[in-house]
Amino acid sequence: MIPKTIPSCRPRGFTLLEVMIALAILSIVAVAFLRAQASSVRLVDEASQISLATLLAKEKMAELESIGFSEPKKDSGTGGKEFSMLRWEQVVSLTEVLNLRKAQVRVLWMEGQQERSLELTAYFAKR
Protein backbone atom coordinates (compact mmCIF):
# COMPACT_ATOMS: atom_id res chain seq x y z
CA MET A 1 0.00 0.00 0.00
CA ILE A 2 1.31 3.40 -0.98
CA PRO A 3 1.03 6.09 1.67
CA LYS A 4 -0.84 9.19 0.61
CA THR A 5 0.96 12.49 0.89
CA ILE A 6 -0.90 15.23 2.58
CA PRO A 7 -0.44 18.57 0.85
CA SER A 8 1.17 21.19 3.05
CA CYS A 9 -0.94 24.17 3.95
CA ARG A 10 2.13 26.23 4.64
CA PRO A 11 3.19 28.39 1.67
CA ARG A 12 6.75 28.07 0.43
CA GLY A 13 9.22 30.99 0.05
CA PHE A 14 10.03 34.09 2.06
CA THR A 15 7.67 36.72 3.37
CA LEU A 16 8.06 40.34 2.43
CA LEU A 17 9.19 41.15 5.97
CA GLU A 18 11.97 38.52 5.84
CA VAL A 19 13.20 39.87 2.50
CA MET A 20 13.20 43.46 3.79
CA ILE A 21 15.17 42.50 6.92
CA ALA A 22 17.71 40.59 4.82
CA LEU A 23 18.12 43.60 2.49
CA ALA A 24 18.57 45.95 5.45
CA ILE A 25 21.31 43.76 6.91
CA LEU A 26 22.97 43.44 3.52
CA SER A 27 22.91 47.21 2.95
CA ILE A 28 24.46 47.88 6.39
CA VAL A 29 27.29 45.46 5.62
CA ALA A 30 27.78 46.99 2.16
CA VAL A 31 28.00 50.54 3.57
CA ALA A 32 30.56 49.43 6.18
CA PHE A 33 32.62 47.71 3.48
CA LEU A 34 32.56 50.79 1.20
CA ARG A 35 33.62 53.06 4.06
CA ALA A 36 36.53 50.76 4.88
CA GLN A 37 37.53 50.69 1.21
CA ALA A 38 37.44 54.50 0.92
CA SER A 39 39.48 54.81 4.09
CA SER A 40 42.11 52.39 2.81
CA VAL A 41 42.42 54.30 -0.49
CA ARG A 42 42.94 57.54 1.45
CA LEU A 43 45.58 55.92 3.67
CA VAL A 44 47.45 54.52 0.65
CA ASP A 45 47.53 58.00 -0.90
CA GLU A 46 48.78 59.52 2.37
CA ALA A 47 51.50 56.87 2.68
CA SER A 48 52.57 57.54 -0.90
CA GLN A 49 52.87 61.28 -0.21
CA ILE A 50 54.93 60.64 2.93
CA SER A 51 57.22 58.25 1.04
CA LEU A 52 57.83 60.80 -1.72
CA ALA A 53 58.47 63.54 0.85
CA THR A 54 60.95 61.29 2.66
CA LEU A 55 62.82 60.55 -0.56
CA LEU A 56 63.07 64.25 -1.41
CA ALA A 57 64.18 65.13 2.14
CA LYS A 58 66.88 62.45 2.04
CA GLU A 59 68.07 63.71 -1.35
CA LYS A 60 68.34 67.29 -0.09
CA MET A 61 70.06 66.18 3.13
CA ALA A 62 72.56 64.17 1.06
CA GLU A 63 73.37 67.37 -0.84
CA LEU A 64 74.13 69.11 2.47
CA GLU A 65 76.19 66.12 3.65
CA SER A 66 78.27 66.24 0.48
CA ILE A 67 79.11 69.88 1.21
CA GLY A 68 79.83 69.09 4.86
CA PHE A 69 80.56 71.92 7.29
CA SER A 70 79.34 75.16 5.72
CA GLU A 71 78.42 78.70 6.61
CA PRO A 72 74.84 79.38 7.74
CA LYS A 73 72.46 79.62 4.80
CA LYS A 74 68.87 79.12 3.65
CA ASP A 75 67.72 77.61 0.39
CA SER A 76 64.36 76.48 -0.96
CA GLY A 77 62.69 75.23 -4.09
CA THR A 78 60.16 72.89 -5.61
CA GLY A 79 60.47 69.16 -5.98
CA GLY A 80 61.11 69.37 -9.70
CA LYS A 81 59.77 66.93 -12.25
CA GLU A 82 59.79 63.84 -9.98
CA PHE A 83 58.25 65.56 -6.95
CA SER A 84 56.13 68.29 -8.53
CA MET A 85 53.64 68.60 -5.67
CA LEU A 86 56.36 69.05 -3.03
CA ARG A 87 58.33 72.09 -1.83
CA TRP A 88 61.55 71.95 0.18
CA GLU A 89 63.56 74.21 2.46
CA GLN A 90 67.17 73.76 3.60
CA VAL A 91 68.49 75.69 6.61
CA VAL A 92 72.04 75.52 7.93
CA SER A 93 72.36 77.42 11.21
CA LEU A 94 74.88 78.10 13.94
CA THR A 95 74.78 76.16 17.20
CA GLU A 96 76.07 76.97 20.66
CA VAL A 97 79.15 74.91 19.86
CA LEU A 98 81.56 76.90 17.68
CA ASN A 99 82.57 74.14 15.24
CA LEU A 100 79.13 72.57 14.86
CA ARG A 101 76.37 73.40 12.37
CA LYS A 102 72.72 72.34 12.46
CA ALA A 103 71.25 71.37 9.09
CA GLN A 104 67.50 71.06 8.63
CA VAL A 105 65.61 69.91 5.57
CA ARG A 106 61.87 70.46 5.53
CA VAL A 107 59.54 69.13 2.84
CA LEU A 108 56.03 70.60 2.53
CA TRP A 109 52.96 69.56 0.56
CA MET A 110 49.23 70.23 0.50
CA GLU A 111 46.79 67.53 1.51
CA GLY A 112 43.34 68.87 0.78
CA GLN A 113 43.18 72.26 2.53
CA GLN A 114 45.86 71.32 5.08
CA GLU A 115 49.61 71.81 4.67
CA ARG A 116 51.69 68.82 5.76
CA SER A 117 55.43 68.71 6.38
CA LEU A 118 58.30 66.36 7.11
CA GLU A 119 61.59 67.47 8.63
CA LEU A 120 65.08 65.94 8.85
CA THR A 121 67.81 67.34 11.09
CA ALA A 122 71.54 66.62 11.10
CA TYR A 123 74.62 68.13 12.69
CA PHE A 124 77.94 68.73 10.92
CA ALA A 125 81.26 69.25 12.68
CA LYS A 126 84.27 71.08 11.35
CA ARG A 127 87.20 68.74 10.72
How large is the average pLDDT for residues 18-47? 93
pLDDT digit string, tens, across residues 69-93: 888 999 999 988 888 899 999 999 9
Give me the residue spans of the domains in the chain.
Answer: 17-125
Domain covering 17-125, topology: Pantoate--beta-alanine Ligase; Chain: A,domain 2 (3.30.1300)
Residues in CB range of 86: below 8 A, 6 or more apart: 52, 53, 56, 78, 79, 107, 108, 109
The whole-angstrom separation of Cα 69 and Cα 66 is 9
Strand arrangement, sheet containing 83-94: 73-79, 83-94, 100-111, 114-125
3-class DSSP assignment, residue 74:
strand
pLDDT of residue 126 exceeding 80:
yes
